[in-house]
Amino acid sequence: MKPDDLSFERVQRLVERAENLRMQSAAVPVKDLRILLDVCEIAFAQRTMSDIKTEPEVN
């Protein structure tokens, strides 16, 4: 497992705990948030590229 995966899982566990406690906010290490943001940006870019490839050409 890559360190990025561990950070994502750590943030996911924090979110689940916060939801179980009905918390409205929680402190998350900036390092973990940065990694999560990077992962989301990559996923968004990949999704955008796949959307562009699937659009029909207009002639």
Domain residue extents for the chain: 3-54
What is the pLDDT, as a whole number, of residue 51?
A: 78
What is the pLDDT, as a whole number, of residue 36?
A: 80
CA angle 33, 14, 3 (to 5 degrees): 50
What is the pLDDT, as a whole number, of residue 56?
A: 64
Inter-residue contact 33 to 11 (CB < 8 Å): yes
**Is the pLDDT higher at 30 or at 57?**
30
Q: For residue range 2-47, what is the model confidence (pLDDT) as tens digits? A: 556 677 787 788 888 888 999 887 777 888 788 888 888 888 888 8
Which residues contact residue 31 at a Cβ distance below 8 angstroms, ignoring those fewer than 6 apart?
Answer: 7
What is the pLDDT, as a whole number, of residue 4?
A: 60
Burial class (CB in 10 A: 0-12, 13-18, 19+), 40: exposed
Indicate whether 1 pLDDT > 50: no
